[in-house]
Amino acid sequence: MDMNCDTLQAQLAMLLRDQPRGVTADLTDFAVAYWDGDQVAGVYLRDNGHLDEAFELDGTGFQHWHDEIAAWLANPCYTARPELLERRKERPPFEARV
């Protein structure tokens, strides 16, 4: 299945929007994606599986992660991460971040 980045981004966003808050798409064993209320966002995982540094899943990010996202779409795997909910509580709402 050969998909362009726009298609991957749209499919991943559609699937993540339907998930409860705090659920991630486990793209690899070291990177996950989640719906931040406005767009798909990425986060690296530390060795012990805890959330680490965020990364952009914009057009360039989707090009970089194309193969991983395409593989994930073929066999989606999600994880509920309470840590993500806590992290998001610390951030202001999207409108305030503008």
> Using one digit for the tens of pLDDT, what is the confidence trace for 23-36?
999 998 889 999 99
Q: pTM to 2 decimals?
A: 0.80
pLDDT single digits (tens) 1-12? 456 777 878 888
**Host domain of residue 41:** 5-97
CB atoms within 10 A of CB 59: 11
pLDDT at 79: 95
| Rounded Cα gap, residues 21 and 27, in angstroms | 17
pLDDT single digits (tens) 47-88? 888 999 998 877 777 778 888 888 898 999 999 999 999 887
pLDDT at 95: 52
pLDDT at 98: 47
Which of 94, 83, 93, 70 is CA-nearest to residue 12? 70
pLDDT at 15: 94
Burial class (CB in 10 A: 0-12, 13-18, 19+), 57: buried
Number of domains making up the chain: 1
